[in-house]
Chain A
Amino acid sequence: MNSNETKPKHPLLEKIEPSLIAVACGLLVGLVVMMIFNIQESFAGFFTMLVGAFNQGSRSIGNMFYMATPIILTGLSVGFAFKTGLFNIGAAGQMVIGAYTAIHIGVLWNLPAPLHWIIAILCGTLAGAIWGLIPGVLKALSNVNEVVATIMMNFIGMYLVMYMIKANVLNPLDSRSLNVQSTALLPTWGLDKIFPGSAINIGIIVALLAVVVIHIILNKTTLGYQLKATGYNKEGSTYAGINTKRNIIISMSIAGALAGLAGALYYLKLGNHLTTSSGLLPQGFDGISVALLGLSEPIGALIAGLFLSYIRQGGFYMQLYDFKPEIIDIIISTIIYFSALAVVLQTVFHKQIKKMKEKKRKTPNEEEVSS
């Protein structure tokens, strides 16, 4: 028993414990809110939210992957910038610019099949990178607060895209973008056989690749090391000879590229259109949730993106019980709030346990071991 207590916890468990605490607290608050509004059906509704994503078997799972694709990528985008100490709330703008560029190429250019969608994706990613580059440059050269700058870029991007749709690719009947040509649609590579009837395509595979690439950049390359160092201590890194200004620009560009990729992948799909009246894309803001929930880690973004997509699917079916799907956003924001507290809650929790144990034992040499 003695050895069991002094043994350190598994490092992974230690790391994700705050997130788990936060998720539990968020779900609890969600349940309480539901009980306040409709106590009779609150438990049934809550249960539907938790398992509703499996309502239609493999079709639902395929849709979950499809809906997770953009938010995993925007989550990666926000998380990656966060690692460099930058808060990118401009994923919505970067995504819409990437989406428009991909749609523009998909509608207006004439190219053979694999080349067409590949170029559309690449150009969308590039456009997103440029949209992220601008606040990065402003931050690096004139110290402009990146929170304000990225929000401003969101609105500029939104209005720019509204204009570009009207000018170039308008379907006037529905006041939205035209369908992209069939050669520009993302292929499915048989994924639709595994998840019949769902909207899944290779977008999820590209997203997985992006997770791996970002993980490698952050953990295995000099660039990643420098970026993280800049995030930990900007002055210290400058002193150590790291070009922090360059790193801020690179970091924001990569973050923008990821969000642009999210837009390209999501909209190179039959039946998805940008409209001339749409506001800021919600996936951009989901990206913030995903990144914070995933502790800004690439793998974390993958898990959190799937989780958010899963619970949103459940939230959709929750409408059967007359609960509005926005309850999901209440729960998610509560989870983020608690995740801000959770690290502290965890240490308080552990200190309390330690104190109790020490009181129980009261052996002097035990203290040396624990400290």
Chain B
Amino acid sequence: MNIVYDLFHLSLISAVPLLVVAIGAMISERSGVVNIALEGLMLMGAFIGIAVIKTLEDSGTSMSIQWILLIGIIVGGVVGGVFALLHAYAAISMKSNQIISATALNLFAPAFAIFTARTIQNGQQIPFTSVFKMSEIPLLSKIPFIGDLFFKDIFLSFYVGIFILIFVYFFIYKTRFGLRLRSCGENPHAADSLGINIYKMRYIAVCLSGVLAGMGGVMFVTSTSTEFNASVAGYGFLALAVLIFGNWKPFRIMFAALFFGFMRTIAAAHGMIPFLENLRIPGEFYNMIPYITTLIVLSFASRKSQAPKAAGQVYDQGRR
């Protein structure tokens, strides 16, 4: 029982960054712009966000650890949003190939992070010392079962992630703006004829996806590591798989993220589980699990996928 609880708890923790980034990707694709730059956006957000966290730590501020983390996440989001504007400009204003411009960002981000870090501090790693895990939330942790699961040994990121999920759900499905945004991804010409500014909507969507990806980057590094090492381990692409598996819908994305989080937990913590430990399978094979399951899951999920119809297509007002 204890193991099951631990596994589920760890899955929650590793699912949150995936959830946030995949939600970001959903906003972008729902508006009609494919964003495979997530990896680069996460990396940029994580780079600057962690650098800010480290600076705050070193300055000996009296701020509490959770405030530092929150500031780091917000900074990561801002950086991601600004960086995403480059993709938006290429994909929307310049009508260029969305895959190529996104790939350029993916290649740029690690190069920039390594170059800058090495130039400034003689080493590409940015370590931070704080432990951001909260051991207990007073009062709420006393609730039986739920208290153990959601309010003990948990990261602030978890609550931020849940808040983002609910907020984005209402934003996309319950507001006029959300309806307009979705129409841009399904039939931009019809939306345009109703007076919606496609370019503006898409800019906002891509920028938001950058914000969420940047925040997700900081969340990923602070909850899985003690340093930033110019990589987010393919999480940006996993988030893309989560988006497809989640069929471009917020709550299905949440379950998809949980599933992938669970797979990653198995990969990382197989030694914890006596049954798996006894099988004596080499660790490398456990590490492959998240990626292999992604392929298997996608091969089932992709057949009846409901991608936004205009995703990836350049919008040209003059074309009908």
Smallest CB–CB gap between A17 and chain B, Å? 16
A332 at the A/B interface (Cβ < 8 Å)? yes
Smallest CB–CB gap between A183 and chain B, Å? 30
The answer for the CA separation of A219 and B96 in the assembled complex, in Å, is: 26
Count of chain A to chain B residue pairs whose CB atoms are closer than 8 Å in the complex:
135
B288 at the A/B interface (Cβ < 8 Å)? yes
Q: Which residues of B contact A (CB under 8 A)?
A: 36, 86, 90, 94-97, 99-101, 103-105, 107-108, 110-112, 114-115, 118-119, 231, 234, 237, 240-241, 244, 282, 284-285, 287-288, 291-292, 294-295, 298-300, 302-303, 305
Chain B residues contacting A138 (CB-CB under 8 Å) are 295, 298-299
The answer for the CA separation of A339 and B112 in the assembled complex, in Å, is: 19
* Choice from A87, A156, A340 contacting B104 with Cβ under 8 Å: A340
Contact A148 B288 (CB under 8 A): no
13 A–B contacts, CB within 8 A, in A order? A142-B299, A147-B36, A154-B234, A156-B288, A163-B284, A289-B107, A292-B103, A326-B114, A330-B111, A332-B107, A332-B111, A340-B96, A343-B96
Contact B282 A163 (CB under 8 A): yes
Smallest CB–CB gap between B37 and chain A, Å? 11
Known: A37-B119, A326-B118. 8 other contacts (CB 8 A): A147-B99, A153-B291, A292-B103, A330-B111, A333-B108, A336-B100, A337-B101, A341-B94
A159 at the A/B interface (Cβ < 8 Å)? yes
Chain A residues contacting B287 (CB-CB under 8 Å) are 155, 159
Contact A144 B298 (CB under 8 A): yes
* Choice from A142, A160, A288 contacting B107 with Cβ under 8 Å: A288
* Choice from B96, B97, B110, B302 contacting A145 with Cβ under 8 Å: B302
The answer for the CA separation of A349 and B94 in the assembled complex, in Å, is: 13
Chain A residues contacting B103 (CB-CB under 8 Å) are 89, 288, 292, 336
Smallest CB–CB gap between A163 and chain B, Å? 4
Smallest CB–CB gap between A141 and chain B, Å? 8
Contact A326 B108 (CB under 8 A): no
Q: Could you mark each residue 323-353 of chain A with 1 if its beta carbon is under 8 Å from any beta carbon of chain B, else 0?
A: 1101111101110110111011100000000
A143 at the A/B interface (Cβ < 8 Å)? yes
Chain A residues contacting B231 (CB-CB under 8 Å) are 279
The answer for the CA separation of A103 and B306 in the assembled complex, in Å, is: 44
Task: Give the number of chain A interface residues (Cβ < 8 Å).
Answer: 49
A152 at the A/B interface (Cβ < 8 Å)? yes
Contact B302 A142 (CB under 8 A): yes
Q: Could you mark each residue 72-97 of chain A with 1 if its beta carbon is under 8 Å from any beta carbon of chain B, else 0?
A: 00000000000000010100000000
Contact A330 B303 (CB under 8 A): no
Contact A329 B111 (CB under 8 A): yes
Chain B residues contacting A279 (CB-CB under 8 Å) are 231
Smallest CB–CB gap between B206 and chain A, Å? 15
If A142-B302, A324-B119, A340-B90 touch, does A292 touch B100 (CB 8 Å cutoff)? yes
Chain B residues contacting A87 (CB-CB under 8 Å) are 99
If A149-B298, A324-B118 touch, does A143 touch B104 (CB 8 Å cutoff)? no
The answer for the CA separation of A147 and B35 in the assembled complex, in Å, is: 12
If A143-B303, A149-B298 touch, does A330 touch B237 (CB 8 Å cutoff)? no
Chain B residues contacting A337 (CB-CB under 8 Å) are 86, 90, 101, 104-105, 108
A28 at the A/B interface (Cβ < 8 Å)? no
If A148-B237, A340-B96 touch, does A334 touch B300 (CB 8 Å cutoff)? no
The answer for the CA separation of A153 and B244 in the assembled complex, in Å, is: 17
Contact B104 A333 (CB under 8 A): yes
* Choice from A159, A324, A328 contacting B288 with Cβ under 8 Å: A159
The answer for the CA separation of A142 and B240 in the assembled complex, in Å, is: 17
Contact A341 B90 (CB under 8 A): yes
A285 at the A/B interface (Cβ < 8 Å)? yes
